């Protein structure tokens, strides 16, 4: 064999002491397989409930619902905000700004900037659509829209992309067209933040590393003859503060008389993995947009338009102020404790209740909080340092 042929073979052969570079997906799979089980997310213990509001232009405000005063203001420095949400541990606020490319982490206690995570990308316009924490709180799923910049045009995709982002390493671990199938729909973090809880027809418990189902609490199977499937409504009435249980409002379609729907409260035992209590309301709750509550999960306040829909019987289409109906509900029995009608400024809607339940807050366009007392009587109007954008985030410890 000629010297030239030997040289060519030597260059073509892979080096014995340098392993081949793994493909991006192989690296992501390896990182996932080596990932440790997520640690428990420990919630803040300040004992204080705050209202957090995004304000135009570019501010995040912390509001004390006891004194009805602004106690902290954060200026993003990048103009309008697009998302403001508390982290699972209730210690920080995630704020999306800079034309949807920058996620700021704001310390809730001091209302100062803790960290920033940019999602710009050369050659593309990137718009963050949402952020979801993974179990353990050390990674995010970030949904983005990537618009390709070309010399004289833009290429707009018809679908979003998901990024798995490592906060400590500050890097994208993997890119996905969709979330993993096991958590694609109805997935929430467990109260302790260590697992995925997927609310489908049943409550499925999904391992955060393998993404395999490791447990199930049956909700679809009738608990007794004549009963139907339990359908969860709204958020956990314990507000994720009870690591051993959930409490939800539920509805149940009568399997015989399908025009009849039952309502009530269901307790779910996360230790023994079962429905521990099913309390049927003695009455059908009033039709309303939704409800808000204070720290006492037994009492809630709801609202709707006077004619049943958003906008009420009198509204902007008639160039008159809105008429809304406020309800106070006993969440143990479903009974309506109080109902009142009010004519309010156009665009106002129910957004929060004070921790002790003594005040009801309506917000809408503009910079005002309209405050009613527990008897639904107008109490005062509070002016804020900017226009409210997105209502109130109630952050309980």
Q: Which residue segments constitute the domains of the chain, with CATH numbers given?
A: 40-183 (2.130.10.10)
Closest to 213 measured CA to CA, from 193, 198, 226, 231: 198
Q: Strand, helix or coil at 5?
A: helix
- The phi and psi torsions of 193 (rounded to 5 degrees) equal 75, 15
Structure tokens at 67: 């004194």
Contact 210, 57 (CB under 8 A): no
Q: Scan for tokens 């639904």, then name that residue.
A: 376
Q: Which of 292, 287, 319 is nearest to 306 (CA)?
A: 287
CB distance 316 to 28 below 8 Å: no
| Structure-block tokens of residue 215 | 């447990």
Contacts of 36 (CB under 8 A, 6+ apart): 209
Q: Which tokens is 311 given?
A: 């906008």
Global pTM value:
0.86
Q: Is 25 exposed, middle or buried (0-12, 13-18, 19+ CB in 10 A)?
A: exposed
Residue-by-residue pLDDT tens, the chain, 397 positions: 444 343 333 333 433 333 344 454 554 454 554 567 899 999 887 679 999 999 998 999 999 999 999 999 999 999 999 999 999 999 999 999 999 999 999 999 999 999 999 999 988 899 999 999 999 999 999 999 998 888 888 888 878 999 999 999 999 999 999 999 999 999 999 999 999 999 999 999 999 999 999 999 999 999 988 899 999 998 999 999 999 999 999 999 988 887 889 999 999 999 999 999 999 998 888 887 788 999 999 999 999 886 544 444 444 455 556 789 999 999 999 999 999 999 988 788 999 999 999 999 999 888 999 999 999 999 999 999 999 998 999 999 8
Neighbours of 278 (CB within 10 A): 16
Length of the chain, in residues:
397
Name, in order, each residue with C-beta under 8 angstroms of 203's C-beta and a sequence gap of 6 or more.
197, 216, 217, 219, 268
């Amino acid at each position: 064999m000629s010297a030239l042929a030997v040289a060519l073979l030597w260059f073509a052969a892979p080096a014995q002491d340098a392993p081949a570079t793994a493909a991006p997906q192989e690296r992501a799979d390896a990182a996932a397989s080596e990932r440790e089980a997520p640690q428990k997310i420990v919630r803040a213990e300040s004992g204080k409930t705050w209202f957090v509001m995004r304000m135009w232009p570019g501010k995040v405000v912390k509001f004390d619902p006891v004194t009805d005063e602004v106690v902290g203001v954060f200026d993003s420095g990048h103009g309008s905000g697009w998302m403001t949400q508390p982290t699972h541990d209730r210690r920080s606020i995630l704020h999306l700004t800079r034309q949807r490319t920058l996620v700021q982490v704001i310390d809730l206690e001091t209302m100062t900037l803790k960290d920033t995570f940019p999602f710009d990308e050369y050659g593309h316009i990137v718009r963050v659509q949402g952020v979801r924490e993974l179990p353990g709180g050390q990674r995010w799923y970030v949904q983005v829209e990537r618009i390709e910049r070309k010399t004289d045009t833009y290429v707009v995709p018809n679908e979003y992309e998901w990024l798995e982002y490592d906060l400590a390493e500050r890097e994208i671990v993997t890119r996905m067209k969709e979330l993993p199938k096991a958590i694609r729909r109805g997935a929430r973090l467990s109260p302790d933040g260590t697992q995925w809880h997927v609310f489908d027809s049943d409550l499925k418990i999904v391992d955060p590393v393998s993404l395999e189902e490791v447990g199930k609490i049956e909700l679809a199977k009738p608990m007794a003859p004549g009963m139907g499937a339990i359908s969860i409504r709204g958020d956990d009435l314990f507000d994720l503060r009870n690591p051993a249980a959930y409490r939800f409002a539920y509805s149940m379609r009568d399997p015989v008389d399908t025009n009849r729907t039952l309502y009530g409260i269901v307790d779910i035992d996360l230790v023994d993995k079962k429905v521990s209590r099913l309390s049927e309301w003695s009455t059908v709750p009033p039709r309303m947009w939704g409800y808000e509550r204070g720290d006492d999960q037994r009492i809630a306040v709801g609202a709707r338009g006077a004619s049943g829909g958003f906008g009420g019987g009198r509204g902007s289409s008639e160039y008159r102020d809105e008429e809304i109906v406020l309800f106070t509900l006993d969440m143990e029995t479903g009974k309506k404790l109080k109902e009142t009608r009010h004519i309010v400024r156009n665009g106002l809607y129910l957004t929060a209740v004070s921790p002790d339940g003594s005040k009801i807050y309506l917000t809408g366009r503009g910079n005002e909080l309209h405050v009613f007392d527990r008897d639904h009587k107008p109490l005062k109007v509070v002016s804020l340092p900017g226009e409210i954008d997105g209502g109130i985030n109630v952050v309980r410890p």
